[in-house]
Structure 1
Amino acid sequence: MRPANVLVTGASGFIGVHLVDRLLSEGNRVTVLARSSSALPKEWHDRVNIIACDDFSERGLRLLLRAPVETVFHLAAYGVRPNYRDIDEMIAINVALPAALVRLCAEWGARMVMAGTFSEYRSPSNRDLLTEDSPLEQGKLYGSSKAAGGLMASAIANGSGTRFRLLRLFKVYGAGEASHRLLPALVTGLAKRERVAISAGTQVLDFVYIDDVIEAMLRADTHCRDKGGIATWNVATGRAHSVREFAESVATAMNADPSLLGFGAIDMRKDDEPWLVGSPDRFRSELGWQPSIGLEEGIRAAVATLCRA
């Protein structure tokens, strides 16, 4: 297959770095749209077209972006960190930016794959798997804004005939996560044989390894190219694991004393939910995708990479 012209937003983030690396490895021509303050991998600078942007309004984008672009992978988001709760910024990045990008795709004849999140779903009243038709979050800023952005982008794409896929990613993990997140915090502390303060770990989530997520995104793009239309899919395993199980698996992979895991040493966050596990059935039936890497295997691979760094 010939190389594609690809635009990636959010390329400096955990998932974005892995996506760009995969796109480059397959010979694609990649442009990244990033804030001027973003730290991008040095090895990209002679392989990637970098567009610095600090005005993500539609007007600002039009001043910087030009066709030809075949695919836009939209990963940029605001509010992943719990203390990032500026409402104006959240609306601008999570709602207005995807809407503007879809409008540009309509003009360019391009397609768009957008990264959503499991946080878009309202916490279920029982332990049913969340499907793409489950009720969406209405009471929390980050989840509500991401849900609104996905709905708006889908509606604009539908009205303009733009090919569009929204992927609601569940709990993605792997090497390269920000240092404040669970996996790197555990590895850093356990490597020093220090006690790691974490919550009680009772939250039950759907952990998806980064390589499986990138494969899902690329398959979604191919489906979007070949089949057209719009679709929303969960990228999930359908398997429930508690944060406690995850932490204990990290300790096992590192041959660390499990007593170093300080469960209950810090409070649960306000945004923590007791159960958020997704159904992968629709994505599996339409694309044949299913996660290939189980939790223990994924943790071992991530720990090995982090310990070499």
Structure 2
Amino acid sequence: MRVLITGASGFIGRHVLKCLQNSNIDVVLAGRNRPVGYLGDFIKADLLGTTDFNNLSFKANATHLIHLAWYAEHGSYWSSSLNLRWVESTIKLAEAFCEAGGQHIVAAGTCAEYDWNYGYCIEEKTPLIPNTLYGASKDATRRLLMSLCSTDKVTCSWGRIFMPYGPGEDSRRLIPALNNVFSFNQPPFAVGSSSFRDLLHVEDVAAAFVKLLTSGAHGEFNICSGIPTQISEVIKLLANARNQDPGIVLDHSVSRIGEPLMLVGENKKLTSLGWAEKHKLEDLCNYLR
């Protein structure tokens, strides 16, 4: 097995790379910049700029593909037109990979593909009615990718990520931002503290992608804890870790229009492959210290 990885410099990608290396799996990376500290095979490529994906696939000489690269600028990716360019780029990459004899594709999806009005998301049951350009673009990519792989008789795993947290995440995301509040590095801000979300440590997310890879699984899989966690509990954990009063954030609690009260995934399909969550919610403070 030789795995071509895109997006290995990203929040999730760097942990996927580490997980693959720890498993002694042969990897080759493609991207604009070589990840810091990575000395292995690397192909410099702008996936939104290249027109020769066949040459990229030839150079990679990979049997498997983990495609994680996508536009992910915090707060901007929901409505950016770059989502449309990533749909095209992803399909061109997958097409070239299949034509080069690739055997299996693992790609990153999102819980934003689901109709959030349902709250609890199950792969074969919950309707796919995204309400953002990001979610719609991911869903369109999945449909095209699955059709392409079916035609070329290549297996494909589509991993829908819920709410990852952990080392390397953007400081503007919820958990790092709350930690900054309780560290007096930024003022309190409004939070939907009564909402329930599905939190999963990024190392468990990475392990899930590697499990999809090594199992050769085909289809859509929720990458999530399956546990509804109320945001108020996260606030209290972070406040207690800093010996601060959670009220300085809880007092700013709001209900945001368009955001669901609950967004949680079922993970039975993923656990049936032998994957299991290792990090617990109580551990979330550890990486912030």
TM-score normalised by length of structure 2? 0.88
For residue 291 of structure 1, what is the aligned residue in structure 2? 277
Q: Does 1:130 align with 2:131?
A: no
Distance 1:262 1:274 in 2: 16
Matches within 5 A, 1:1-309: 4-35=1-32, 41-44=35-38, 47-56=39-48, 59-66=51-58, 67-78=60-71, 81-84=74-77, 85-87=79-81, 89-93=82-86, 95-110=87-102, 111-125=104-118, 127=119, 129-133=120-124, 134-192=126-184, 195-224=187-216, 230-261=218-249, 263-264=251-252, 268=256, 272-285=259-272, 287-297=273-283, 299-303=284-288, 307=289
Q: Report Cα offsets for 1:192-230 as digits up to 9, x if no partner.
A: 376432323233211111121111111111111xx6xx3
Distance 1:62 1:137 in 2: 33
Given that 1:5 and 1:28 are in contact with CA atoms closer than 8 Å, whether structure 2 keeps it comes out as: yes
Residue identity in the other structure for 1:254: R
RMSD (Å) for aligned C-alpha atoms: 2.4
Given that 1:10 and 1:75 are in contact with CA atoms closer than 8 Å, whether structure 2 keeps it comes out as: yes
Change (3 A) 1:267 1:180: farther
Distance 2:28 2:252 in 1: 44
Change (3 A) 1:107 1:300: same
Distance 1:122 1:300 in 2: 31
Gap regions ≥5 residues in structure 2: none
Distance 1:209 1:55 in 2: 28
Greater shift in the superposed pair: 100-109 or 116-125: 100-109
1:293 deviates by: 2.2
Change (3 A) 1:256 1:175: farther
Residue identity in the other structure for 1:132: E
Q: Secondary structure at the match of 1:288?
A: coil
Distance 2:236 2:123 in 1: 31
Greater shift in the superposed pair: 62-71 or 204-213: 62-71
Change (3 A) 1:183 1:165: same
Given that 1:195 and 1:260 are in contact with CA atoms closer than 8 Å, whether structure 2 keeps it comes out as: no
1:233 deviates by: 0.9
Distance 1:12 1:271 in 2: 31
Change (3 A) 1:106 1:55: closer
Change (3 A) 1:232 1:58: farther
Given that 2:13 and 2:206 are in contact with CA atoms closer than 8 Å, whether structure 1 keeps it comes out as: no
Given that 2:191 and 2:249 are in contact with CA atoms closer than 8 Å, whether structure 1 keeps it comes out as: no
Residues matched between the structures, number: 285
Q: Report Cα offsets for 1:207-265 as digits up to 9, x if no partner.
A: 111121111111111111xx6xx311111222111222222222223333323326537
Distance 1:280 1:265 in 2: 29
> Which of the two has greater helix per residue?
1
1:18 deviates by: 0.9
Given that 2:84 and 2:137 are in contact with CA atoms closer than 8 Å, whether structure 1 keeps it comes out as: yes
Distance 1:175 1:115 in 2: 19
Given that 2:8 and 2:35 are in contact with CA atoms closer than 8 Å, whether structure 1 keeps it comes out as: no
Once the two structures are aligned, what percentage of the paired residues are identical?
27
